[in-house]
Structure formats: C-alpha cells, structure tokens
Amino acid sequence: MKKANKEGLHSTETPHDILTRYMTEKGMRKTPERYAIMEVVMKMTGHHSADEILTMMPENFHVSRGTIYSTLALLVECGLAHSHHMEVATLYECAYERPAHHHYICTGCQKIWDLQDSSIEQAASKVKTPRFKKLRCNTYIYGICNICQAKLARLKKKMEKEKEENITKEEKRFARINEELAKAAEWFK
C-alpha cells in the first residue's frame, strides 16, 4: 500500500506501521486504544471533532476523552491526520493516501469543505523561501456558505419587516395621541 508522507514521498508503510515506528522512536507505549483510534481516523471521510470521533469508536472500545485528544495529537505529529483549528473546535481529517488540498470554511456554521485547486500549489511553489524548506501548503478560504447566506437573507428580511411594523405601531400611537390632544383642545375652548 503506497502512502504520501509529510514530504509528499511515497512509501509502502501502512498506517499501523507508521504509528508503530513513530511510537517506537519516541519511546511511547503501543496501546490497543491508540491503534483503535487510528483505525477510526483512517476510515473517516470529511472533518470531525474529537467528540464526533469518540462516538465513532467501536462499542467494545471504551476510551476517555483525554485518550482521544492525546492520540489525535499523536496522529497529527506522525502525519496520519491533519488538524484544523476552528473557532468552536478543532476538526481532524485523515491524511493517509489523501491528496494535498485546501479548505473553504464557513464563518457562520463553522463547516469545512475540501478545495482542490492546482493554482494554489503553483502560486505557493513560486514563493521564494530562503533558508527554509517547504513541505506543504495549507490554504483556508473563509466565507459564508450558501445555507448560511440564505439564513442571513431570511433574518434580514424578518428584521426589516419587524422594523416596518414597529414604525407603523409608533406612528399609530402618535396619531392616537394627536387625536386625543385635538379632543382635549376642543374641550378647553
């Protein structure tokens, strides 16, 4: 099985091999929980929070939230996963055998989508980096997705309608006061 590592090179190491080698080099314990979490992350599609990954764990593997977080950090360190730090949570995605890509991020709902655009890599490759070896480029394009745009448009319309109704109510109240003042003025004549 071929794998693109951090440098974009290919090897025949499996995710299990990569994690084992990395933990051996760092003198870390090779626990069944770490391998189970790695298996879940390797099967993931899309971008998920640690809590979502916890719910994806097999029923026979009860792991703590702390184990999830520390193992996800480990998977990012050894290049098997990528992390994306959002306003509300950090989202993780599988990096094993996945092509380099960039992301759209909605600032409304905090969802993240993959963006494949070779012009970004071309532009990044032209950037001069003296005394620095580029390994990869991550680009985030922040904006508002079409669903959030529709919600904002409905909210704006609702607020305009409420403002219009409030002005009408205010005008009616002043008209009523004006009528009462006119009646009172007649009474004093």
Tokens of 121: 């890599």
Phi, psi at residue 102, to the nearest 5°?
A: -120, -175
- pLDDT, tens digit, for every residue of 67-106? 999 999 999 999 999 999 888 889 999 999 888 888 988 9
Nearest alpha carbon to residue 31 among 74, 87, 94, 92: 74
The fold of the 1-98 domain, in CATH, is: Arc Repressor Mutant, subunit A (1.10.10)
Encode pLDDT of 8-67 as tens digits: 445 588 999 999 999 999 999 999 999 999 999 999 999 999 999 999 999 888 899 999
pLDDT of amino acid 8: 44
Encoded tokens for 11: 């090897």
Q: Which CATH architecture has domain 101-144?
A: 2-Layer Sandwich (3.30)
Q: Which two tokens stand for residue 27?
A: 């003198």
**Residue 77: enclosing H or E segment and its boundaries?**
helix 65-77
